[in-house]
Amino acid sequence: MRVLFTTTPATGHFHPLVPTAQALQQAGHEVAFAAAESFRAQVEASGFLVFPAGVGFESLDFDLERAVPPPRLDVPEQLETVLDFFVDRLARPMAQDLGKVCQRWRPDLIISESIEFAGPMVAERRGIPYATIQVGGMGSLGEASQALFARRLDVLRAEQGLPPDPELKALFRYLHLSFMPAEYFGGPLPATTQYLKPEVFDQSGFERLPEWMASLGSRPVVYATLGTVFNKLIRHLSTITEALREEPVDLIVTVGRDMDPARLGPQPSNVHVERYIPQSLLLPRCELAILHGGYNSVMSALYVGLPVLIVPLAADQPMNAQSCERLGVGRRINPDTLTPELLRQQVREMMRDGSYRERARRFQAESQTLPGMAEGVAMLEKLSRERQPLVRA
């Protein structure tokens, strides 16, 4: 079976696809990715064939630091901006290139992350069965948001020679895989959703823990990150370091592969600033994670039973923060009210209150009872063979 994955050219969208792609490779299937040429190196570093398709963020002239406030998916008035970016500026050129890739490589199955909209449309047009993988914390949309979402996608569907899809049924027609339990989401996912045991990937190439971590003492370790896109909002990381630099903790801050750690200025010996550290290696050493609420960062923390303090900035991050509060595994701070004093107080209270850790470990244990990746591969093989939707019982 030949399987083509499509991804938005960003780490947070690519990484959730990797465990499934690796599992399919190990099962003997051919796997390739369609991604922007500028993103090729990162995909190839993870061992996959890449077909250039679509455009990279660097060509879109989008300045995150000037987008104040950054758009949120849970605010209908701001959804238009999100759709403009992911539908018009990313999915349209991806769809144009993806048709050529399919004609050349002839995949038996297309798998897309749930914010990459071109893959399902091109697959539908060419009669190829397709699946999607959840990459955000969004459950069901409100009626007004769904109508707007459908209208914007229908323009692109028309360009592909496809009929309107006002109820968004075509997007997840065959199979949708979620590596987080149903209880995490604020609303129901599509009827074709199959929930699987969490799988975390975050090591592109040979990234490892820094050597200095071996010399850490007995102080609790707190980790802070704004991910690999919102790391550009450096002022929030500065607030976090200011809040905790004199606390009896070892604070580890990552600023992203493309950011100079020196931008945070001189730090005391208990504050360690790095570009990127795989969270799957780092988080098991931590007592608390301070996050922007990106889906992958939250999933990585809950995967190891770690409580989270979330400063949600944009996109689905407020939804992820709300889910963590509802589950009792974390707290959130509105970025508009973030001060060193408030964050310091929240960290102290969470580290004294063991119930957050207890509930995070309970969520971790319950997540591990879900079916594993082997069943996910079997579902994808069945989809390719039978070409019929897999609706959960």
pLDDT digits (tens, 9 = 90+) for 283-322: 999 999 999 999 999 999 999 999 999 999 877 888 899 9
The answer to whether residue 321 sits within a structural domain is yes
Q: How far apart are CA 250 and CA 253, in angstroms?
A: 10
- Predicted local confidence at residue 392, as pLDDT: 75
> pLDDT category, 52, cuts 50, 70, 90?
very high
Q: Of the candidates 266, 260, 226, which has an alpha carbon nearest to the alpha carbon of residue 242?
A: 266
CB 52 within 8 A of CB 35: yes
Mean pLDDT in residue range 211-230: 88
The answer to whether residue 98 sits within a structural domain is yes
Residues 323 and 381 in one domain: no
Parallel, antiparallel or unpaired: strands 193-195 and 221-225: unpaired
The answer to whether residue 253 sits within a structural domain is yes
Residues 374 and 358 in one domain: no
Residues 190 and 316 in one domain: no
Domain containing residue 169: 2-197+370-386
Residues 299 and 340 in one domain: yes
The answer to whether residue 339 sits within a structural domain is yes
Q: Which two tokens stand for residue 344?
A: 């310091």
Q: Tell me the Cα Rg of the chain.
A: 21
- Predicted local confidence at residue 146, as pLDDT: 80
- Predicted local confidence at residue 156, as pLDDT: 94
Quick: pLDDT tens for 65-81.
554 455 666 666 677 77
**131 burial class (0-12, 13-18, 19+ CB within 10 angstroms)?**
buried
Q: How far apart are CA 152 and CA 158, in angstroms?
A: 10
Q: How far apart are CA 293 and CA 281, in angstroms?
A: 19
Structurally, the chain folds into a number of domains equal to 2
Placement of tokens 């919102």 in the chain: 230
Residues 180 and 239 in one domain: no
The answer to whether residue 203 sits within a structural domain is no
Residues 188 and 300 in one domain: no
Residues 181 and 263 in one domain: no
Residues 302 and 332 in one domain: yes
The answer to whether residue 391 sits within a structural domain is no
Q: Of the candidates 254, 236, 229, which has an alpha carbon nearest to the alpha carbon of residue 310?
A: 236
What is the pTM for the complete model shown?
Answer: 0.92
Domain with residue 220: its CATH number is: 3.40.50.2000
Q: Which two tokens stand for residue 217?
A: 């003492």
The answer to whether residue 193 sits within a structural domain is yes
